[in-house]
Structure formats: C-alpha cells, structure tokens
Amino acid sequence: MIGKDDEYCYTCGDRVPKQDKAPVKQKPVSPLTNLVFIASLAFTAYCFFGEPKLSLPVTLAISSALLLIRILAERLVNKT
C-alpha cells in the first residue's frame, strides 16, 4: 500500500505521481448582503445619534448581532 508521503512504489519501484491539492475557492457573501449589512449599521448609528436616542448597550448589541449574522452567513455560503 502506498502512503500519501511515499515517493516510490515498494513493489515496482516506479515514482509515485504527486497530486496537487487544488485550493478551495471561497465564495464571497453576495453584494446585496454587504449592502444590507452596511445600511443596517448606518441605521443603528443614526438611532444612536438621532432622536429618540438608543442607549449605547442597545446600539452595541444590535451592531454585534448584525456582525454575527453576517459572519454566520459567510460561513454558511462557504460551507457548501
């Protein structure tokens, strides 16, 4: 049996051809997802500075949730 690190066949002595591993191309998140993410962050910033104001913890929670959703969406797209 030939292992993945063997260079020669033990039986016949022939050189084992090396197979190049093709890099896995990651698919980016759709531009629409990026646009919605940026728009959501802009709206969150507006809610923090505009009237009526959201508190800082609420604003940070919303921004963190948006970032987490975007990261999970990117991982889900690249998983398939």
Q: Express each pLDDT in 20-49 by its tens digit.
A: 666 666 666 677 777 877 888 888 788 778
Total residues found in the chain within this entry: 80
Q: Could you say which DSSP state residue 4 is in?
A: T
Full domain range(s) for residue 67: 31-79
Q: Please report whether residue 15 resides in a domain.
A: no
Mean pLDDT, the chain, rounded, equals 76
Report if residue 49 sits inside a domain.
Answer: yes
- Total domain count for the chain? 1
pLDDT at 23: 61
Give the amino acid at 70.
R
User: Which of 43, 30, 17 has the alpha carbon at shortest distance from 70?
Assistant: 30
Examine residue 53 and state whether it is found in any structural domain, yes or no: yes
* 12 domain residue, yes or no: no
The single residue listed with the structure tokens 């033990």 is: 10
Q: Is the pLDDT of residue 65 over 80?
A: yes
Share of the chain above pLDDT 70, in %: 81
Domain-embedded: residue 56: yes
**Residue 72 predicted with pLDDT over 80:** yes
